[in-house]
Amino acid sequence: MEWVHILFVVLGIALMLFLNIKFNVNAMLALLLATLFIGFLEMGGIALGWLPTPEGGLNPAVILETIQTGFGSTLGSLAIIVVFGAVIGKLMVDSGAANQIAETLIARFGIRFVKIAMVIAGSVFGLAMFYEVAFIIMAPLIVAVAHEAKMPFMKIAIPAVAATTTAHSLFVPQPGPVALVEAYNADTGMVYIYGILVAIPTIAVTGWVLPRLLGNLDYPVPKLLQAENEVPVSMRPSFGISMLVPLIPAIIMIGATIANAFLVEGTTVHMWVNFVGSPIVAISLAMIAAFYFFGTARRRSFEWVMDSFGGAVKAIAMVVLIIGAGGALKQMIIATGIGDYIGTLMSGSSANPYIMAWLITVLIRLATGQGVVSAMTAAGIIGSAVIDPATGQMVAGVDPALLVLATAAGSNTLTHVNDASFWLFKGYFDLSVKDTLKTWGLLELCNSLVGLGVVLLLSLFVGG
């Protein structure tokens, strides 16, 4: 009867969507109610003998502790990054930096090729930064470029975000690809080579074909990303400074990664390099730089800077709380053992290993909302079937680099209310849950399906 795990999760998510869409219940409250609902269903399943008792038991006190753990751990890792990133974005908008970048890109690339410019920027940011940081920095640029190009911002958001998520999920040095390369004993260089072949058609189809199929994409400009007043050109920072400040986190984190290759672990220098290179410190330094370059260096008062700071925090506060509630739901789902159950169901299959790696990852990502966790769970299941434990080598006919990319494509798939990225997209672009599923959900699903398709195509010519 362990299949009722999945039923309970489906019922919980359905309750959340029903409350939010039908009765306009605040998303944070709807998420917490759905989390409680799943927990109580699990308790009932155990009491009826349908489910085994998890380690530590399950009772109302454990349910509350699970919610607190999920809420707190999610905000502990993301809250500062999200808030400080929002402050940088707000300062970029209020100082005119976002418009400066937008106008320069349009002047150099032309309106016809402005999507390509934003795809390049999204790919660089996705490769260099944690996804949440990259998205928060890209969001004001997307809106500013769309305003200058006089087109709906979502028509630029979809290709730009598709590029960001694809680069983030496929390429080292992001944590997911790094872990997969290690798990499958793949060659990083080959992952890059095949990954480029996967990324180009993925972004092209998602960014240019999908929007044509989605109908009306003309959404109102998000309040968070609206400038209070038009900023004169003379008051704006230069294009170079406007680009440099949001790139500071990437520069610092990449620099730390390179430095680690030459430093001895455990030394004082290694410790400080990794402290400065951590996402929280890197984005904090970028925010301080934004205070100066977008504020006081342009002869604006520090009071003006703090007004922008306060406005950003007020605008993003509910998004942060919703992300925390999504973390609580994720933690409750993980506590049910859904990932282990899905893995048990799939591990005995003899299907194509690339398809199995993708499918297992997709199912676990849908259940848990965690890209890296889903990819690594799938890697453990698939790896035990295709890697010879004696030699550590793949069985004949399976290419490790393609297996990395198939798994990564599965982690970069349709997500919903238990994923922090879902709520970031919804909150920043001021969309309804329904419209977020239509835009974010379908662009991620398209990314995933096209990525798998290209991997399967490559597998016809490449064998391990």
> DSSP readout, 324-388?
HHHHHHHHHHHHTTHHHHHHHHHTT--S-HHHHHHHHHHHHHHHH--HHHHHHHHHHHHHHHHB-
pLDDT at 130: 65
Does residue 102 lie within any of the structural domains?
yes
Domain assignment of residue 295, yes or no = yes
The proportion of the chain whose per-residue pLDDT surpasses 90, expressed as a percent, equals 28
Q: What is the pLDDT of residue 188?
A: 75
255-264 average pLDDT score = 87
pLDDT beyond 80 at 310 = yes
Q: Is residue 204 part of a domain?
A: yes
| Residue 104, domain member (yes or no) | yes
How far, in Å, are 91, 281, 324 from residue 320 at the CA level? 19, 19, 6
The range of the structural domain enclosing residue 307 comes to 72-179+192-318
What pLDDT, on a 0 to 100 scale, did the predictor assign at position 368?
Answer: 67
Question: Looking at residue 175, what is its pLDDT?
Answer: 63
Q: What is the pLDDT of residue 409?
A: 92
pLDDT of residue 146: 86
Into how many domains does the chain fold?
1
Q: How far apart are CA 328 and CA 308, in angstroms?
A: 30
pLDDT grade, residue 174 (50/70/90)?
low
Residue 164, domain member (yes or no): yes
The model carries a pTM of 0.69
For residue 65, tell me if it sits in a domain.
Answer: no
Other beta carbons within 10 angstroms of residue 217's beta carbon come to: 18
Higher pLDDT, 126 or 350: 126
pLDDT at residue 398 in the model: 81
Identify the residue whose tokens are 């934004």: 290
More confident call, 343 vs 203: 203
Q: Which of 127-131, 321-325, 342-346, 440-444 has the highest mean pLDDT?
A: 440-444
Q: What is the pLDDT of residue 344?
A: 62
345-369 pLDDT per residue, tens: 655 556 688 888 888 888 878 876 7
Predicted local confidence at residue 243, as pLDDT: 83
**pLDDT bucket at 47, cuts 50 / 70 / 90:** very high
- Establish if 25 belongs to a structural domain: no
Question: Would the pLDDT of 128 be above 60?
Answer: no
Is residue 362 within 8 Å of residue 410, measured between CB atoms? yes
Residue 279 lies in a domain: yes
What's the CA gap between 294 and 97, in Å, rounded? 7
CA angle (396 as vertex; 392, 400 as ends), nearest 5: 60
Helix residue ranges per DSSP H, 229-337: 239-260, 268-276, 279-293, 302-335
pLDDT for 275 equals 94
Q: Given a cut of 90, is residue 124 above it in pLDDT?
A: no
Least confident window among 94-108, 337-351, 450-464: 337-351
pLDDT band at 285 (very low <50, low <70, confident <90, very high): very high
What was the pLDDT predicted at 134? 77
